[in-house]
Amino acid sequence: MARARQFDREAALDLAMNEFWQKGYSAVSVKSLCEQLGITRSSFYHSFGSLDALFEEAMGLYLRYNPMLELENPKLTAVQAIRRCFKVLCKLRAKDKQHRGCLIINNLNEGYAMPVKTAKSLQAKIDNSINALEATVERGKVEGLISPAQNSRALALCLQSLATGINTLSMQVHSEEELWGIADTTLSGLGF
Amino acid sequence: MARARQFDREAALDLAMNEFWQKGYSAVSVKSLCEQLGITRSSFYHSFGSLDALFEEAMGLYLRYNPMLELENPKLTAVQAIRRCFKVLCKLRAKDKQHRGCLIINNLNEGYAMPVKTAKSLQAKIDNSINALEATVERGKVEGLISPAQNSRALALCLQSLATGINTLSMQVHSEEELWGIADTTLSGLGF
DNA sequence: ATCTTATTGTACATATGTGTACAATAAGAT
DNA sequence: ATCTTATTGTACACATATGTACAATAAGAT
């Protein structure tokens, strides 16, 4: 059998995720990551392939804690699920002492620095979110809690816009009450 | 008298603004700017001092076209001004063929790459926007169009969140109708 | 014509970053 | 004990980037 890895790959991925989150893709270099990890670039390229491959892995890890997953919660009605989803989001952002906002949204404007494939995969995450919201609105119509006269796509865009706004504002507005105030007021106004 | 400048300073500032807008602060270097401008770094440092001084100038130029300026329009009621402001924003973002979103918001997550002073000046722009919105809500109360029972700061945060959401979404949602749909629906829900 | 001085050109010293190549290492299966 | 092979260490060859220093340039006021 071959020589074993001398460093903790999970811990390295975790650190990388945090770097991309805080500083953004184009401010993260292979060199600086390796220095923080105490490994050589040689080890890095062997384990991760490239910086953008690592970035994709980091996005994957990040999305394991995605508040939008609440939308699939089978115990909740569509409207409850949407409200819960925003509640969880506000709690999560307020709890973050580093006020990092959202990794995905923070990196949307770094497209030029990435391989095209990576930039597209990033944008696809937003599309997925919009689609999940739209599906939940549709579910709300079936459940009779949302008027079928409403345009589901348009409502989903309102919700995605709200999520984006809260994520970004959370970098400067740190109080959970204020963040939830935004969500609650806007959701109520939209009929949720 | 001294030797005259050989390049167009305004044009250079314009190009720099666009670079910061499209690529973000940490993806812009003095070297690449100079190469695009066909000037030496020597000339650059003489004219602009440093990259972050240029960035501050670029923000200043950018904000000369700020849709939030509609809030000060004396011919409009507070509610009209707020709606107009979002209408102008949607039009502006949809018209941008490069889908750059908002320079200020795009760079909020680049704070780590900048001198602290510059990062703070960036965040102050957001605070200014929130304060301008809050003042307009207050004006609406005076005009009798907004209930005095409402929390002005909370409503201002809802509006700032909406503006942020639209700015960011505009990088992927290019239709003016869809963007305005988000603004119109959300504004109506909030009572504007 | 000369002088002043902002601007420009060129060079230096240094730091950071990338990607590859190849030899040395070591875990554990045979 | 030997062998296999992923991992690690070291080095090479570049490319990119920063900030400063100082001499050369040229516009136009005197």
Residue-wise pLDDT tens digits, B113-129: 999 999 999 999 999 99
- Distance between CA atoms of residues A131 and A149, nearest Å: 19
Distance CA B103 to C1' C9 in A: 34
> What is the four-CA torsion angle of A46, A52, A53, A58, rounded to 10 degrees?
110
Mean pLDDT of chain A: 97
Is the pTM of the predicted complex or chain greater than 0.85? yes
* Closest residue by Cα to residue B25 from B46, B43, B49, B52: B52
pLDDT at site B146: 96
- Please say whether the structural domain A9-60 has been given the CATH code 3.30.70: no
Closest CA to B89 of B61, B105, B70: B70
Partner A contacted by B178 (CB < 8 A): yes
pLDDT reported for residue B1: 81
A26 touches strand D (CB under 7 A): no
Q: How far is Cα A115 from Cα A50, in angstroms, rounded to an integer? A: 11
The stretches in chain A having pLDDT less than 70 are: none
Query: How far is residue B47's CA from residue B3's CA, in Å, rounded to a whole number?
Result: 13
State residue B176's pLDDT score: 98
Q: Answer yes or no: same fold for A9-60 and A66-189.
A: no
d(CA A102, CA A20): 10
Domain ranges of chain B: 9-60, 66-189
Distance, CA of A154 to CA of B26 (rounded, Å): 34
- Determine phi and psi for B130, rounding to 5 degrees: -60, -45
Tell me which chain B residues have a C-beta less than 8 angstroms from the C-beta of A169.
Answer: 157, 160-161, 164
Q: What is the CATH number of domain A66-189?
A: 1.10.357
What pLDDT, on the 0 to 100 scale, is given for residue B148? 97
- Min Cα distance B3 → chain A (Å) is 38
Low-confidence ranges of chain B (pLDDT < 50): none
Q: Are A109 and B24 in contact (CB under 8 A)?
A: yes
Interface of A with B in 18-47 (CB under 8 A): 22-24, 26-27
Q: Count the neighbouring beta carbons within 10 Å of the beta carbon of residue B142.
A: 10
